[in-house]
Amino acid sequence: NAGVTQTPKFQVLKTGQSMTLQCAQDMNHEYMSWYRQDPGMGLRLIHYSVGAGITDQGEVPNGYNVSRSTTEDFPLRLLSAAPSQTSVYFCASSFLSTGLGSPLHFGNGTRLTVT
């Protein structure tokens, strides 16, 4: 199993450009999520999904869109990039246990710079 695969690893955008960060998992996990990591601020939840066709907002959703058309894929779209979106982005997935949380499996991250 490849686990959680994120592409690209690095990306530089100009302000106003759009792009999609890709995330795929091969573990048949129901739950998928996107986090951004900034120095001193830990991991902040952007959006998450508990299954195909279902998405919800996390702590910092503004400026980002997601969709979940299949169990395996959960792309994150930046509609109009801003310098404040410079960050490291992690995709994570897990099973959904009945009544209890489950450990997240993280991808290797995408380092995004917006100039």
Partner 1 sequence: GENVEQHPSTLSVQEGDSAVIKCTYSDSASNYFPWYKQELGKRPQLIIDIRSNVGEKKDQRIAVTLNKTAKHFSLHITETQPEDSAVYFCAASKVNNDMRFGAGTRLTVKP
Interacting residue ranges for partner 1, rule: CB under 8 A:
31, 33, 35, 40-45, 48, 50, 56, 58-59, 90, 94, 96, 99-104, 106-109
Nearest approach, Cβ of 32 to partner 1 (angstroms)? 10
Nearest approach, Cβ of 18 to partner 1 (angstroms)? 25
Q: Which is closer to partner 1, CB of 15 or CB of 108?
A: 108
Which residue's structure tokens are 């450990």? Answer: 103
Q: Which is closer to partner 1, CB of 49 or CB of 85?
A: 49
Coil, helix or strand at residue 83: helix
**Running DSSP on this structure, what letter comes out for residue 1?**
-
Pairing of strands 54-57, 64-66: unpaired
Q: Which is closer to partner 1, CB of 14 or CB of 103?
A: 103
Q: Which is closer to partner 1, CB of 84 or CB of 95?
A: 95
Q: Establish whether the linkage from the previous residue to 103 is cis, with ω within 30° of 0.
A: no
- Nearest partner of 27 among 50, 55, 4, 51, judged by Cα: 4
